[in-house]
Every structure is written in C-alpha cells, then in structure tokens.
Amino acid sequence: MELSNSTLSSVAGLQVVVCVVFTLIFLVGMLGNSLVIWIILCNIKQQFSTVMLILNLAVADFTVLITLPFWIYSFADGWVFGAPFCNVLLYVVHCSMYASVFFITAMSIERFVAVLYPFAIQKWWRRGTIGKLTIGIWVSAFLFAVPVIDQKATHVEHPQCSLLLSSYRQQKGLIVLETLVGFVIPFLVLSICYALVAKRILKMTLQSKSKSMKVIRSVVIAFAVCWLLYHIINLLTVSSILTKTSSPEVSKMLLNISERVENLAGALAVTNSCINPILYAFAARRFQNGFNTSGIAKLFQQLNISIAEKFSNESNIRRDNFQTSV
C-alpha cells in the first residue's frame, strides 16, 4: 500500500508541475505573440518580407497556444471534451507546428536571398511573391496535417487526448513524415543558408544587416533547441516499433525512455511558440533601454529598412563601377 500511495503521489506531483509549466507558457506566449501581431499591424506602415514572415510566424504560434488550456485541463482532470474535439485539436496543433517551422525556414531563405541577391528580393516583393509564398506555406501546413484528422486514428485515453493509429505501419509513416518535414529537411535548409550567408556577411558593414541576421539566427537556434528532443522521442518510438518482434526487451526499453521524457519534450516544443517574442524583446533592448512596444516596433522598422539599404547599397556599387569603367 505504501508503494501505491507513493506512486500516486509522484503522479499527482508530475501533473501539478506539467500544469504549472504549461500555464506559464500559455500566459507568456499569448501576451508576447499578441503584442508582436499588434505592433506589426498597427505600427509598421510598410511591411517588407521579413516582417511579413514574422507576423505569420506569430499567428502560427498564437494558434498553438490557444489550444493549451484544453491540454492543461486534460492533464489535471482527464479529457472530457469528446473524441471529435480531440481530433480537431490535434489537427490544429500539427497544422500550426508545420506552419511555424515553414515560416522559420522561409525567413532564413529570405535572408539568404536578400544578402546574396538583393535585386531578386526587390523583384519578388514587387510581384507579390512573398504574399503567394505565405499562402503556399499555410496551404502546405493544412495538407501535411491531414493524416491526423483520420477519424479512425484518433482515440481518447484517460487522462489525455492522444493519437493512436490503427497499425504500426501507419504510425511509422506519420512519425517519419513529421520528423523529416517538420525538422530534418528544414534544419538542413537553415544550415545551408546560414553557411552561405556567413561567408558574405563578413564582408558587410551595415549595422542593420548584422542586427537583422542576429534576430533571425536567434529564432532558428531556439527552433533547433526546442524541437530536437521532441523528434528524438519520435525516432525512439519508431525504433521501438521496428525492434518489437526481433528484440522485445530493447523495444520495451526504448518505449519506456520515450514515455518518461514525453512531457519534457512536449513542454520544450510548445515553449518554441512563446520564446520568439522574448527574443524580439531582447533584440529591441539594443535600440533603447527597457522592454517596451516602441523598442520592438523600432526593431521591426530596422528589419524593413535593412532591405532598402541592401538595395540602395548594391545600386550605388553598380553605379560606381559603371562610372569607373566609363
């Protein structure tokens, strides 16, 4: 009986910790992302590509955070909202996750093009390419999340709403898709972009270029740190499935490991949705002392200005080279 009471006590303690952590993430993230959306929509008159991508990233993160109260309640007192709503919530979370990852990747590609090919970014902006890219990202996120809304795949388990698939093959397919599209491929793209940009940025002296890169680099690093453990858990789950027949003991061990750190991985993943506004606030502090809306607005203005400066600088260099040659 003592062991049973001890076990129940530890489970209850874990539930309290999880609920407190997710509540803090919800409060900080909702406030931060709401502030970012409000500042960009109300204080930034001309929104260039980087700021547009930041705006959509904030919307995606905001959408993830809206679902947190339901997960907090399920941790505290079990899932009472029914299977259909569980299905909808899982779809919204996965859709927002893909959108967030895609917008972070797009920000890195946009910086790569803006630094190495400034005239191309100007053409893209004039033709409305960034708007089309934004629509494309949201549509892609909706489509990649479609496997989650399979009614047969969703099951409500006490005390949580969880996604249980009808076969191990289906489970492996969904996890591999999520890991490749949601982390591995985007991270490779990010790494390649920054490796190429790093060579070029060393030759540049404009302050706004450096600040622009630092802001987006911080967002990318936060993405890698927050999502890495989550996808490691995914790989452990796949490994557990693959070794279920050949090595049952190894399979069980891997499954136990993934279950023990599942809550931590989930907390880190959701933290990514609230950490970006904090990074903007720290970056804005370099412009003026204190954390306030005017500082963040000035930061976004600088990100806008950086594109105009790139274009102007490249134009001047080409004009000077032409005059010299003549």
In a domain, 323, yes or no: no
Q: How confident is the model at residue 152 (pLDDT cuts 50, 70, 90)?
A: low
DSSP 232-252: HHHHHHHHHHHTTTT-HHHHH
In a domain, 324, yes or no: no
Query: Angle at the Cα of 131 (from 125 to 133), degrees rounded to 5?
Result: 100
CATH number, domain with residue 201 = 1.20.1070.10
In a domain, 322, yes or no: no
Using the predicted structure, report yes or no on whether residue 143 has a pLDDT greater than 90.
Answer: yes
Using the predicted structure, report yes or no on whether residue 27 has a pLDDT greater than 90.
Answer: yes
Q: How confident is the model at residue 141 (pLDDT cuts 50, 70, 90)?
A: very high
In a domain, 18, yes or no: yes
Cβ neighbors of 17 (< 8 A, separation 6 or more) are: none
In a domain, 318, yes or no: no
Note the pLDDT of residue 136: 95
In a domain, 149, yes or no: yes
Query: For 216-243, how does the pLDDT look when each residue is reduced to its tens digit (9 = 90+)?
Result: 777 788 888 888 888 888 888 888 888 8
In a domain, 258, yes or no: yes
The predicted model scores a pTM of 0.80
Note the pLDDT of residue 62: 94
**Domain with 76 in it:** 2-312
Residue 167 DSSP symbol: S
In a domain, 325, yes or no: no
Sign, CA torsion 82/255/22/214: negative
Query: For 38-80, how does the pLDDT look when each residue is reduced to its tens digit (9 = 90+)?
Result: 888 887 666 667 788 888 999 999 999 999 999 888 887 777 8
**6 or 190: whose pLDDT is higher?**
190
Q: How confident is the model at residue 319 (pLDDT cuts 50, 70, 90)?
A: very low
- The count of domains in the chain is 1
